[in-house]
Amino acid sequence: MTPPPTLSPTVSTAPDLVAGFPFPFPNPTYRYTTNVEPARGVVTTPAGQWGAAVVDVDSAYGEELAERAAILERDPSRHAVLPHMQVACWDAMLCLMRELALSRPDAFALEVLDDLEGGSRAAYRWRNDLLGIDHTFVLGDASTLPDEPLRWITAQVQEDVVLLDERDGVLWGDAGVVTFAADWSFGFDVGMSFLEIHGPVPRIHAEGVITRAHEFIKRLQPNETYRRTNWTLTVHRRLDVSTETYPEWGPDRPMVLTVDDETFGRLVHLRTEVQHLVRLPESGAVMFLIRSYMLPFDELARVEEWRERAAAVIAELPEDMADYKGIATYRDRAAAWLRAQAPTP
């Protein structure tokens, strides 16, 4: 066998990241569905729980924000705002600040200081103790912020953010900051319709899944918040597996077939996306949040219910779906590896 590759630094064994991991398989088989549910419901798992917060803050906070900053420095196309989305960006910023304060009131606070111009604008004080930020700004006045509002607030959350504008009954991805895409490109997709963005996904068009999702999102009312999960497998703990960086991570897929079992368990990660949909109250835009969580197989296998279920789902997954998710080359070994970790009777 070839020597094990150099492993990327990882925080994925931190206890809170295991306890809070959103395991994505409620059933022994997986097919694309809209699978939306109201947000904030707590989901209890064999390892702990997840789901109480719309914007989650965990022990990877500092590391992931540093990674986001480095990605944006290298590739500014990961941040885009079409001109008509300025109000939506301010709307999203306030919403994310409020969600952070709800999630961690010990570390974040948003305070209204004064209404200006007869209540049409307001001055706010924002405090982020984790990053040492204490800043006063006027809503809608870009000169009072250190950066464009969406970029500034996404430097303080672990979620990727896409803002969907609705025009003539169609949703359009017209703004966002996406640094942790899983095999897609926000820079390519910006300005496209929701249906066009999801064009490459197998089955969802023929089965009507994406059309139902589109209609559901359009029916969202101001401040309504829903969530869903998605998943894939990733080699190494790579948050950025966007199409722009394919030359960096694409070779990992065949490489993982050549390593020994111990290395395989450390390299291959189950990656869950918790996706939230929020209808913003002032602009009417829909904020699409994507938070990516990763757990290496060697940690996953220690939770027996997770090990059994993940092995069953991966083994049964139809070939076209496995191919789209990029796991076709090593999914048989992944399922076999998980089954081989069964406790000895």
The catalytic residues are 228
Cβ neighbourhood burial of 127 (10 Å; 0-12, 13-18, 19+): middle
C-alpha 345/C-alpha 342 separation (Å) is 9
For 47-120, strand residue ranges (E) read: 49-50, 79-81, 108-116
Least Cα distance to 313 among 4, 11, 7, 30 occurs for 30
Number of H helices, E strands in the chain: 14, 12
344: CB partners within 8 A, 6+ apart: none
* Beta-ladder partners of 275: 228, 290
C-alpha 321/C-alpha 309 separation (Å) is 18
C-alpha 180/C-alpha 173 separation (Å) is 16
